[in-house]
Structures are given as structure tokens and as C-alpha cells.
Structure 1
Amino acid sequence: MLFGIIGVGGFIAPKHLQAIQELGHVLDCAMDVHDSVRILDQYGLDCEFFNDLEDLHQYLQDCKAQEKNLDYMAICSPNYLHFEHIEFALSHGIHAICEKPLVLDPSELDEISALEKKYNKRVFNILQLRLHPNIMQLKEDVRAELLKVPDKIYEVSLTYLVLRGKWYLNSWKGDENKSGGLASNIGIHFFDILLDIFGGVVDNVVHVHQNDCMGGFLTLEHARVSWFLSINPEHLGIHHDSAYRSLVLEGNEIDFSDGFDDLHTQSYKQILDGEGVSVQSARPAIELVNAIRCMSPSSLDEDCHPLCHKALHTTPSE
């Protein structure tokens, strides 16, 4: 199969390039507004490269005239450009494989579904944490328990601390209108698996909403979840690694600190088998992070994550 990629110069693009190569497919063309893309040489020297979407459009038109058609377009561009690039791929008769979050505005999901029907092509979202072995086992265990105790409510704590330098807040990722903020940009994977495992949102409270950290409390159908996300190094405390991921269920730690290396390849394999994350499957997490982004913080209470107290007494990152 033939693949293209938009946003090949970005941080996550190598995962997509690796998946395409490992599954035995061909990277035919790539586009990025930046030209520091020597990484393409690792995946073949014949890949066409463009700095402008209009040039890529003309190339695809020329391919069509020669009866050469791409099968999939990987979209690794900044979050606020995802809808535009999804529409671009579909309008050229190409399935889209888009990084998280699929879009920032939930209303665009219905537009994407309409475009899928119009062009008879599919859109898939990369939410690879669903495929982590320990997360898959957790989902299986919870489902088995709920068959026995249908009204069970789990107590869950989610903590994700990841180090990012000053560049982060000065890039598009630090602009909430472009990235969706921390809940969308680094938290959506975790909210997605919580919703997938424990059911829909019953209540949603945000306790902390700063540019470098967020925290709140979620009531789901089968879980009460305190959560905290941060890129502020002061919040890492005794955790000196570049990232700290913790999911505590009923007092027991679910380990998913490792095991991420091939999850994009597994995601691609699912997609090529017709079983990837669809627009509708991605919807609950997109709606949740949008709601979190739009909420005003509430006062701290007994349910809030412990790090919320620390965050409100820590100077935000510059």
C-alpha cells in the first residue's frame, strides 16, 4: 500500500514512519512547512517531499491522472490543523490516520462523519494506549468484575507528570486555542482509556487549570477518578525521570511505564485490518477534554488530587 504523511517534521511522525515500514508498506510522499526532515532518508530515498499543502495537492492530482492512488494519509500536524488535513486527505480519495486528538471542537466530528460518507473513505484516530497489554488486561478484569457486581464503583487516581522545557509553552502546544491545552494534548490518552473501561461521564469537576498543570475529579459510570496532569518539573518531586505515569485502582498500582515502543505499529495493523479507532469511538474523550477546557476551576475539596494543593502553591512555569 502507498502512504503519505502530513507533518513529517514533528515529534510523533517517526512512530508513523516506523509503523509503515515495519508493516511492509511504501511511504510515497511527505509534507511539512519545515524542511529539517532528514529522517526520511531512513525510510527510503524516493519519497517525494513538499513544503506546502498546495504543492502536495498538485502532486496528488498528477498521481490521479497517472492512475496512481495513495491508500492512507498519516496526519501528524499540530492539533488545530487536524480537521483541515483530514478533509484534505478524504477529498483526494485517501483514508486518514490522524494523531490524537482527532479534533479540538466536538462539533467537527459530525462534519468528519459526513465527509467520510461523501468521499467513501475512513478516518482513524491513533489512541495507542488502548493497546497497552496492562491496560487491555485491566479492561478485561473490570468487565469480568462488573458482570458479577454490576453496580460497582471503583476508586481511581491518575497522575501524569512529564518534563517539558520552556519551548513547550512558547510553541503552538502552549496556545490552548491551537493545542487544546494539557487535557487535550497530553491527557486525552488517559481520559480515553478511563472512559473506555469505566463508562461515560456522570459528573466533571476541574480544580486546577493552569498553563503548566491541570487537575480535577471525574465521576464515571463505574469509577470515581481524581486526576492530575503537569509539565512543571517542581511537581515531579521524588520522581526524577522525564515522565511519571501512575494509575492506581483501589489502592493497587497499574504499571504502564513501559511497553510503548510498538503501539503505533499495532495501531496501524488494526487499522489495516479495518478495526482501528473510529470517529465515533474517539468522540467521548474529545467531548470530555473540551468540557474540561471550558470549565472554571472549583474550590479544592476532599475529592481533589493531592497534587492540586501543591500546584496552587507553586509558581507556574514561564
Structure 2
Amino acid sequence: MTKGLLVTGGTGFLGQALLQKLLASGRRPLIAAVRQKKTNLPLEVRVEWVSELGSSTDWTACLEEVGVVIHCAARAHIMKEESTDPLLEYRRVNVQGTLALAEQAAKAGVHRFVYISSIKVNGERTASNTPFHAEDIPAPEDAYGISKFEAEQGLVALARNTDMEVVIIRPPLVYGPEVKGNFASMVRWLCKGMPLPLGAVHNKRSLIALENLVDFIALCADPERSPRAANEVFLISDGEDVSTTELLRKVANAYDVPPRLLPVPVIWIQALVRLLGKRAVADRLLGSLVVDSSKARDLLGWKPVVSMGEQLRKMALHDARI
């Protein structure tokens, strides 16, 4: 009997796209762990309801006859944080919840555990010509990045002491159809014709198209196709590093709208965002964050399946239909 594949966070932005990819490639059986009792997931996917992700979560039903786990679920960036101790909440879900699942998976005989981490484990910024590497000493700064790194450490220790393989993937910003957050806001601003003071930004940012990310995850979730991925850490990107100005122009071109970008000096924008207390926003818009994803190519023979332009055009077509 073929063992199944469990995807946590199956109704999320990444989880849904990943399940569609796995179904299209013929992976069966598929199990999705979700927090909503009602979902729109395909009938071919067995859905298991999990009320929360924490240290006491019982994963027994989800892990029955499962050979591979892809752990996408997490407490992600909270735009309006209400917790008085955000790090405590991130640790409860992202560290304790992840390790509880992994420990139960190892005991259940799961062969490989694929963990979707974050480039924030490496840090928040790079010099434009000095990319992050998988072998760099981690330097997370915010609560989310710290919790992801601590979960990674626990998984590495678990892999040393059990027969379960662990694969850690640290993506940068992910974009694709139905993306949310700051990227979605940027698209809305451009489509509304709002002038943006970002026409003279010469930073470099690595991004990863949703299709490229799910393709790489699917590869890592197939031990027969990727035996060399066992117990490795991968940084992954499109391989098309762009400045904020270049990205905005690419988005505008995909959506067939004029890019109204004002060439405001970066130093003026920095001064304004400091006054507004928005340093994190400034880092994303003005700073550089470049990753070296050559390990994925050299070790596993992986290459992107879509270009940045192709993924952006698919986003525009999707948005036009809804």
C-alpha cells in the first residue's frame, strides 16, 4: 500500500496551490490538515480537521499511513498584532506546534518531513551583491523569524535522533494568484493609477513565484526523486533579482496599466518612514534581500518552471476573472 502525503495548512495560499500541484502530478493519497471544517478542497483530498497547532495537538488521525509530511501551517505575519507577547505566541504555534507534529510523525514512521521556514531566519537584509546562503549563520531579528529558526533547530535535532529525514526550505516573498498582504496592496495601488514615490529605488530583492515554490516543494517531498535533499537546508528564489522600481514596472506591464512612479530620492523616503515609525516597510521597499538558490540547482537539478513575467501575467488573468 502506497503511503500518503500530509499537507498542513491545506486551505492557505501556499497549501491550496501545493495540493493542486500534487494532484496534477498523480500523488495519492493526499491528506490536508485544516482549521476550517468546511473547505473547497478537491474531493480527491482527504480532509482532517485540526482545531489548533500547539504542543498538545493530537495528529494521530492525520498521520495514519503517511510517509511524507509537508508542514506549511504557521502563525505568520500579523498586521495588527494584539498579543502583549508576540514571541510567546509565535513560539507556541511555530515552535511547540511544529515539533509536536514532527515528533509524532517520527514515531508514526514518517520517512520525510518537509518544513516551510522563512528567509527571515537568515536575516532581514543583505548588501545588494552579497546574497544569503544556506550555510550562513542564522540572524533572525523579529519574533516570526526567531520562532522559525528555533523550530528548525528542533527539527535538526530530531533528524539526528530518529530515522525521519528533514528538509528545510526558506523562501523569500512569495507571489502568485490570490496573494495577500503588501504585494496585493502594491498591485491595487498600481491598478488604481496611484502615483508612487518609488521610481528611483536601486535595491535588489529576491522573490519566488508560487508555481516555482510548489514545484520545488513537490520535488523535495518525493524522496525517490530527491534523495540528496535529506537533512538539507535550501534557499529558493526565481533567480531574477529585481529592484522595487523594476518590480513595480513588471507588475504594471503584466496588468497593462501605466506605472506612475515618481523618482523621489531614496533618502527622502527613508526620512519620511522613520518619522512614521515604519522601518520594516522601508526595509522591504528600499533595502536589498538577495538569496543564492544555486544549491537547489546543483544538488537537486531543480530549475524554475515559470519566469517572473509569466507568473505576474497569470496573476493578472486570474484577477480579471474574479
Q: Structure 1 length as normaliser, TM-score? A: 0.44
- Higher fraction of strand: 1
